[in-house]
Amino acid sequence: MKIAIVGAGIGGLSLALALHERGLACDLYETIPEVREIGVGITLLPHAMRELAELGLQLQLEAAGIENLESVFFNRFGQFIYREPRGRHAGYELPEIGIHRGKLHRVLYEAVLQRLGAQHVHLDHRCVGVEQAAGSATIHFRSSSDAPLAPVHADVVVACDGVNSAVRRQFYPHEKLAFGGINTWRGVTVHRPILSGKSYLRVGSIETGKMVIYPIADNVDGQGNQLVNWVAEIRREGAPMNDWNKPGRPQDFAEIFKDWRFDWLDVPALIEGAGNIFEYPMVDRDPVPQWTFGRVTLLGDAAHPMYPRGSNGSAQAIIDARTLAQQLATAADGPGALSAYEALRLGPTSKIVETNRTMPPDFINIKVDELSGGKPFRHIDDLISQEELRRMSEEYKRIAGFSLDPSGK
């Protein structure tokens, strides 16, 4: 079976490695002409680490990132709301890791080169369309200079080309991104350890300003400072959508956080200290009824782009990869394997897309803001019990697929 993967991001690389583990060959086709370590932070939750550990990458990833000890929630006045242990500290067999996205991508990419061979990775190949005929599919490509490249024939085509997937657009040509007025700005700052130095922080809420903050590299300057990833989010009625391709400007959002100076963190200084800031829109797409069309299927963000809340987009792409590889290794034919994969993954990921919109992990902060009227409180127990907050957190984990008690009991 000749398998072609369109896109060499986290999902595409994970699929290539999962196929290789099962003795199946494939070729990857990636738009960019050169692989570089770009981006900001990402969190690898225990269910993502389970998949990556099975691919033999756990030790490399642990060495490249920081193991999270805890997740802590605060309101915008710096008042404590809720704390819970994470990863191994919560009883999971595997850690939860904060890591630079470029480092994660590099580990996956180098593993693919080593195991599959560089001849199976084709850079500077931008997919512009897929055609199908009896018994095969043909992918058409162009280079970065827009020159046409030789078409590729395959038995199976897997589109891993992201939220703006060219392959998905073929089957859903009139579909639009779903944007609800939430924009984000992301950066990394060399900073002294915050709280435990292994804490994942959610501060505030999207209605009045929210920050997600966690470390992704330790002792980066020989003086004990960490590389700290941060994400600023705000919902504004009628706001235009941020652009993926433009650098972020502090003047577009920093005013919201100007008074966020707490005993344990100076947020304005964190923003000011960033080397680079990137702007992104908070977007997803409505779940669709079908991913598989004959010999072509969708995977990861091409299949189920979701709000980047709960660190779950990459995890679901990696789980997609293992599921599809299993089906391709055991099914009698390619189209049958693609249909079986869709049947297993479409429903659960659609539920996560919807949950990330309405009841994400930071719903805890939104609920507390609602109960307090957006004002400081005397003590969190005056508003809501820690048990109720724990129940809300566990419900998200159950839907996302990494609860220690999937039954929800």
- Which domain CATH number covers 292? 3.50.50.60
| Upper half-sphere CA count for residue 60 (Cβ side, 13 Å) | 15
Residue 336 pLDDT more than 50? yes
**Angle 10-21/46-54 helices, nearest 10 degrees?**
40
Average pLDDT in the chain: 94
Q: What pTM value is reported for the model?
A: 0.94
Task: Check residue 37 and give its pLDDT.
Answer: 82
Predicted confidence (pLDDT) at residue 19 exceeds the cutoff of 90: yes
Asked if the model's pLDDT at residue 408 lies above 70, the reply is: no
Q: Which pLDDT band holds residue 106 (cuts at 50, 70, 90)?
A: very high
Q: Which amino acid is at 366?
A: I
pLDDT at position 311: 77
Q: What percent of the chain has pLDDT above 90? A: 87
The arithmetic mean of pLDDT across residues 100-110, rounded, is: 95
CA Rg value for the chain: 21
What residues make up the domain containing 345? 3-43+101-176+288-358
Model confidence at 7: pLDDT above 50: yes
d(CA 328, CA 349) in angstroms, rounded, equals 20
Is residue 211 exposed (0-12), middle (13-18) or buried (19+ Cβ within 10 Å)?
A: buried
Residue 216 Rama label (left phi>0; alpha psi -120 to 50; beta): alpha
Query: Dihedral of the CA atoms 198, 232, 40, 345 (nearest 10)?
Result: 90
Q: Which of 150-154, 282-286, 347-351, 354-358 has the lowest mean pLDDT?
A: 354-358
Is residue 278 in some structural domain?
no
Span 226-254, average pLDDT: 93
Instruction: Provide the domain count of the chain.
Output: 1
User: For position 40, what pLDDT does the model report?
Assistant: 86
pLDDT band at residue 409 under the 50/70/90 scheme: very low
Is residue 38 domain-resident? yes
Residue 365 lies in a domain: no
In this prediction, residue 43 carries a pLDDT of 95
List 73's β-bridge partners, or say none. 82, 202
pLDDT value of position 356: 87
Has residue 210 been placed in a domain?
no
Q: Cβ atoms within 10 A of the Cβ of 258, count? A: 11
Query: What confidence tier does 99 reach under pLDDT thresholds 50, 70, 90?
Result: very high
Residue 368 is assigned to a structural domain of this protein = no
- Residue 133's beta-bridge partner residues? 136
Write a three-state SS string for the chain.
CCEEEECCCHHHHHHHHHHHHCCCCCEEECCCCCCCCCCCEEEECHHHHHHHHHCCCHHHHHHHCEECCEEEEECCCCCEEEEEECHHHHCCCCCCEEEEHHHHHHHHHHHHHHHHCHHHEECCCEEEEEEEECCEEEEEEECCCCCECCCEEECEEEECCCCCCHHHHHHCCCCCCEEEEEEEEEEEEEECCCCCCCEEEEEEECCCEEEEEEEEECCCCCCCCEEEEEEEEEECCCCCCCCCCCECCHHHCHHHHCCCECCCCEHHHHHHCEEEEEEEEEEECCCCCCCCECCEEECHHHCCCCCCCCCCHHHHHHHHHHHHHHHHHHCCCHHHHHHHHHHHHHHHHHHHHHHHHHCCCCHHHHHHHHHHCCCCCCCHHHCCCHHHHHHHHHHHHHHHCCCCCCCCC
pLDDT band at 134 (very low <50, low <70, confident <90, very high): confident
Residue 190 resides in a domain:
no
Question: Over 60: is that where the pLDDT of 359 sits?
Answer: yes
Q: What is the pLDDT of residues 260-288, one digit of tens each?
A: 999 999 999 999 999 889 999 999 999 99
Segment 368-407, tens digit of pLDDT: 999 999 999 999 999 999 999 999 999 989 988 888 876 5
Judge whether residue 229 has pLDDT over 50: yes
Burial class of 331 by CB neighbour count within 10 A (0 to 12, 13 to 18, 19+): middle
Residues 25-81: pLDDT tens digits?
999 999 999 988 887 899 999 999 999 999 999 999 999 999 999 999 999 999 999
* Residue 2 burial (C-beta neighbours within 10 Å; 0-12, 13-18, 19+): middle
Is 159 contained in some domain?
A: yes
Report the percent of the chain where pLDDT is more than 70: 99
Residue 258: its pLDDT value, please?
96
- Position 387 in a domain: no
